[in-house]
C-alpha cells in the first residue's frame, strides 16, 4: 500500500491493490495530494458501515483528470473526491453535472454510476451545515461578509450564501477585478440577497463588516506562520460569529483576534467534515448519516 498513488497505478487492479486487504474503490484526486485528510475520515466511515473498500490518495497532474476518470471507471471505482486544482477540470470531465455544482462552478464529488459519470459539489452545502452545527444558527438567517471572496473557496461559499437566501452579502477581495464577474453571476441567481463588493482598503470596510453577523475568511492568509489577520480589530465586534476556512493552523491570526474580542469562532475542519459526509451519502445513499458523521469526526480528531 502506498500513501499516494499515481495514474500509472491505475493500469491494473493487481498493481493498485498489491499488499492491500481491500480493493481501492474510492479516492481523492489532487496535485499535490499527500496532505489530504480525506482518507482519515472516509476510511473509518467505510469501515463503520462494513463496506469492503479502500479510500486512497491519487496524485493527478493538471490536464489528466479525464484520463484518471476513464481508468477509474474501467477498474470499477465507486467515486472520488476532487480537490485543488482539479475542481473545474472535473466538472468538464463529467457526463452529468448536478445543478448546484454548475452554479458553484466546481465539482468536488464524483459518482461513477453505470450509465454516467456524475458530478456534485458538497463544499457549499457542507459550509451551510458547518455553520448550523458550530454556531446553532441557520446560514439563511445571517448577514455575511467574506474576506478573500475571489478565490475558489470564496466563490463557492458566496454562491451558497445566495442560494441559502442570506439578506446581505459583503464580498471583500484584494483584487477587486475578480469580484465583478462573481457578483454578476450571483445577481443572475435572482435572489433577494443584497450584494456589496469592496477591496480591503475601502474606507467603508469596517462599517460593512460590522453590519454583518458572520465573518468568513476564505483567503489563504493565515496558512503561513507569521501571516497577519486578514481583517483588523476595527472590522470585528463581540457579537460576530467568525469562521476561518483554514484548519491548519487550527487557530489562525483572525480567529485568535476574534476570540480575544469575545466572538464565537470556528475553523474549516467542520466544513471538511460535512462536505465529506455529504459526498459519502452520494456514493452510499443507504448509509446511516449519523454513524457516518460520528466515524468521520473521530477519524479527523
Ligand atoms: P484558489 O485556489 O482558491 O483560487 P488562491 O488563488 O490562492 O486560491 O486565492 C485565495 C484567496 O486568497 C484570493 O481571494 C486571494 O486574493 P486575490 O484574488 O486578490 O489574489 C486571497 N489572498 C491571497 N493572498 C492574499 C493577501 N496577501 N492578501 C489578501 N488576500 C490574499
pLDDT digits (tens, 9 = 90+) for 107-141: 999 999 999 999 999 999 999 999 999 999 999 99
Ramachandran sector of residue 26 (left: φ over 0; alpha: ψ -120 to 50; beta: rest)? beta
Cβ-contact 42, 49 below 8 angstroms: no
Residues 6+ apart with CB under 8 A from 196: 168, 169, 170, 171, 208
Cell numbers representing residue 84 in the block = 485543488
Mean pLDDT, range 185-190, rounded to an integer: 88
In the set 2, 87, 168, 237, the catalytic residue is: 87
Q: In what order do the strands lie in the sheet with 214-217?
A: 194-198, 168-172, 144-147, 214-217, 241-244, 264-267
Mean pLDDT, range 174-179, rounded to an integer: 95
Per-residue pLDDT tens digits for 226-258: 999 999 999 999 999 999 999 999 999 999 999
Give the SS3 label for residue 10.
helix
Per-residue confidence (pLDDT) for residue 191, from 0 to 100: 79
Cα of 149 from ligand 1 centre, angstroms: 8
Q: Is the pTM of this model over 0.75?
A: yes
Residue 285, H or E segment: none
Cα of 220 from ligand 1 centre, angstroms: 6
**CB of residue 264 inside a 6 A radius of ligand 1:** no
**CB of residue 196 inside a 6 A radius of ligand 1:** no
Confidence label for 10 from pLDDT (cuts 50, 70 and 90): very high
pLDDT at 104 over 90: no
Q: Which atom of ligand 1 is nearest to the CA of 84?
A: 2
Mean pLDDT, range 146-156, rounded to an integer: 93
Q: Which of 68, 63, 86, 61 is nearest to 24 (CA)?
A: 68
Per-residue confidence (pLDDT) for residue 94, from 0 to 100: 98
Cell numbers representing residue 88 in the block = 473545474
Amino acid at each position: 500500500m502506498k500513501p499516494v498513488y499515481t495514474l500509472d497505478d491505475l493500469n491494473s487492479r493487481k498493481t493498485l491493490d498489491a499488499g492491500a486487504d481491500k480493493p481501492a474503490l474510492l479516492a481523492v484526486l489532487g496535485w499535490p495530494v499527500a496532505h489530504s485528510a480525506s482518507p482519515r475520515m472516509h476510511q473509518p466511515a467505510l469501515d463503520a458501515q462494513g463496506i469492503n473498500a479502500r479510500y486512497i490518495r491519487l496524485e493527478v497532474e493538471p490536464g489528466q483528470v479525464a484520463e484518471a476518470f476513464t481508468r477509474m471507471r474501467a477498474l470499477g471505482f465507486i467515486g472520488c473526491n476532487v480537490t485543488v486544482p482539479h475542481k473545474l477540470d472535473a466538472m468538464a470531465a463529467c457526463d452529468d453535472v448536478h445543478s448546484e455544482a454548475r452554479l458553484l462552478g466546481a465539482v468536488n464529488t464524483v459518482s461513477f454510476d453505470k450509465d454516467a459519470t456524475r458530478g456534485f459539489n458538497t463544499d457549499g452545502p457542507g459550509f451551510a451545515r458547518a455553520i448550523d452545527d458550530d454556531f446553532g444558527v441557520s446560514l439563511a438567517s445571517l448577514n455575511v461578509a467574506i474576506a478573500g471572496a475571489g478565490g475558489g473557496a470564496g466563490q463557492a461559499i458566496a454562491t451558497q450564501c445566495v442560494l441559502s437566501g442570506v439578506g446581505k452579502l459583503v464580498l471583500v477581495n484584494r483584487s477587486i477585478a475578480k469580484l465583478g464577474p462573481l457578483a454578476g453571476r450571483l445577481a443572475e441567481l435572482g435572489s433577494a440577497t443584497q450584494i456589496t463588493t469592496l477591496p480591503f482598503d475601502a474606507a467603508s470596510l469596517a462599517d460593512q463588516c460590522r453590519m454583518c453577523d458572520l465573518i468568513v475568511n476564505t483567503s489563504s492568509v493565515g496558512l503561513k506562520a507569521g501571516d497577519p489577520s486578514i481583517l483588523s480589530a476595527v472590522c470585528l465586534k463581540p457579537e460576530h460569529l467568525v469562521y476561518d476556512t483554514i484548519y491548519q493552523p487550527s487557530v489562525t491570526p483572525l480567529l485568535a483576534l476574534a476570540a480575544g474580542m469575545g466572538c464565537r469562532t470556528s475553523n474549516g475542519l467542520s466544513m471538511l467534515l460535512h462536505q465529506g459526509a455529504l459526498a459519502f451519502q452520494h456514493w452510499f445513499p443507504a448509509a446511516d448519516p449519523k454513524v457516518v458523521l460520528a466515524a468521520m469526526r473521530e477519524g479527523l480528531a
